[in-house]
Amino acid sequence: MNLFDTKKTFTGRYLKNLTFYVFAAILGGVLTGHYAPEVSIKLGTVSRYFFMVLEMLILPIIFMAIMYGICQLSGIRNARSIVWKTILYFLTISSIAIVLGFVFGVAVKPGADTGIDISRISKSLPRTFEINDTSLSGRLYLNRHGIFLIISIVAGILMNLSKGREKFLDILDRGLKIFYTVIKYLYIILPAVIFCNIAYGIAVYGIHTLLPLSKVLATVYLADIVFIFGILGAVAYLFKIRLWKFLLDLKEEIILVITTSSSKTAFPLIFDKMESEGYSRKILRFVIPLGYNFNLSGACIYLSVTCCFLIQFYNISLTISDYLWLFLIISVTSKTASGVPGSGFLALIFTLNRFGKIPLTDIALLYSVDRFMNEARSVTNFISIAISGAVISKMNQNQKDKIRSA
């Protein structure tokens, strides 16, 4: 199923040149945000509503993709082995990401001697973050992706056991094509959305907000770079994947993620791109949708570094057991960071509420630079998810080769 035909249709030709339009939108957004801040602040509404619509489309796609992937996976001889390898891989990579964040947070000490005057910090946050995570509605909202995931897995298993499996697969295939077509046309306005998003960010935050918190910002970026080229680079090397070539092949998708501050904007595009590189379609349809819920390495690093920042900022003394408890909490709360831009900050609030030993009184301090950390978080999430699909696909191929040679 070729999701985005780049030869025959107007949308195909448009998407092929999307990188050029995106760069033009970035340049225009920076200039507008700097020279017309009042107008640019109003433009933030455009990108906010766009991502709301996009999430409403992406959630059903993930739901159908997981169901489709489970049914397709059942046709593979070693399906059970692939499932366990995927779970083990996600748990290992996420744990390494959290530990790496703690290591950088403790070593760099981004929250020590910041020289920030707390009295000048705005205590207010946008209403989007005023969610009571102890209420039923708050918990349902924060865990909506996990709930969708569980329902889709159960539905996929039931569909696979039913007599009308092939008919259901055909319906899912048609449904996915319809949703991908809708998103393909929605992407026509993506440069305009990026323009509004960049203009809003420059107008509201500007470069001056980075200076007092440049250390925590640099720590997050540095940890993400080490994770991508160090940890994921080592994993790629073990499975004979050329990381640099792999990233260059996904450069258009990576640019989309950076400019929209959301890894989900590239979700519909990644399948076709990786399938064209020879990775197993059946495995990608199973691993990648799961990765968008369970393999959010960028969110793991962000949460562990920002928690270290606040611990040092308030000069809180924690024991080893406290850090282990925080590790377990981040392992769970990082799964809620999949969504529209800002979902990572919401996961941070959720983490601090659950941990209980770090005050939230000055959390708005981090919100002022969250917009800039969002790009690093989203890109790391996306690259980690893409690598996971490639690695599990390679694992399956290697197992097939061993069986043939036996």
- Per-residue pLDDT band at 94 (split at 50, 70, 90): very high
How far is the C-alpha of 83 from the C-alpha of 66, rounded, in Å?
A: 12
pLDDT of 344 over the 50 cut:
yes
- 3-class SS string, the chain: CCCCCCCCCHHHHHHHCHHHHHHHHHHHHHHHHHHCHHHHHHHHHHHHHHHHHHHHHHHHHHHHHHHHHHHHHCCCCCHHHHHHHHHHHHHHHHHHHHHHHHHHHHHHCCCCCCCCCHHHCCCCCCHHHCCCCCCHHHHHHHCHHHHHHHHHHHHHHHHHHCCCHHHHHHHHHHHHHHHHHHHHHHHHHHHHHHHHHHHHHHHHCCHHHCCCCHHHHHHHHHHHHHHHHHHHHHHHHHCCCCHHHHHHHCHHHHHHHHHHCCHHHHHHHHHHHHHHCCCCHHHHHHHHHHHHHHCCHHHHHHHHHHHHHHHHHCCCCCCHHHHHHHHHHHHHHHHHCCCCCCHHHHHHHHHHHHHCCCCCCCCHHHHHHHHHHHHHHHHHHHHHHHHHHHHHHHHHHHHHHHHHHC
- Per-residue pLDDT band at 9 (split at 50, 70, 90): very low
Neighbours of 150 (CB within 10 A): 13
Give the mean model confidence (pLDDT) for residues 95-114.
91
pLDDT at 228: 96
Q: Of 225 and 203, which is predicted with more confidence?
A: 225
Give the mean model confidence (pLDDT) for residues 326-352.
80
- Per-residue pLDDT band at 387 (split at 50, 70, 90): very high
Give the mean model confidence (pLDDT) for residues 79-98.
91
Model pLDDT for residues 268-293, shown as the tens digit of each residue? 778 878 888 888 888 888 888 888 88
pLDDT of 304 over the 90 cut:
yes
pLDDT of 53 over the 60 cut:
yes
- Per-residue pLDDT band at 2 (split at 50, 70, 90): very low
Least confident of 2-6, 173-177, 339-343: 2-6
pLDDT of 1 over the 50 cut:
no
pLDDT of 136 over the 80 cut:
no
pLDDT at 239: 92
- Per-residue pLDDT band at 339 (split at 50, 70, 90): low
- Per-residue pLDDT band at 162 (split at 50, 70, 90): confident
pLDDT at 14: 60
Percent of the chain having pLDDT more than 90?
Answer: 23
- Per-residue pLDDT band at 4 (split at 50, 70, 90): very low
pLDDT of 10 over the 50 cut:
no
Percent of the chain having pLDDT more than 70?
Answer: 79
Q: Of 195 and 12, which is predicted with more confidence?
A: 195
Rank 37-41, 118-122, 343-347 by mean pLDDT and report only the highest: 37-41
- Per-residue pLDDT band at 325 (split at 50, 70, 90): very high
Model pLDDT for residues 171-215, shown as the tens digit of each residue? 887 887 788 778 777 777 878 887 887 787 777 666 555 566 788
Comparing CA positions, the residue from 193, 162, 177 lying closest to residue 61 is 177
pLDDT of 6 over the 50 cut:
no
pLDDT at 389: 92
Evaluate if pTM is beyond 0.85.
Answer: no
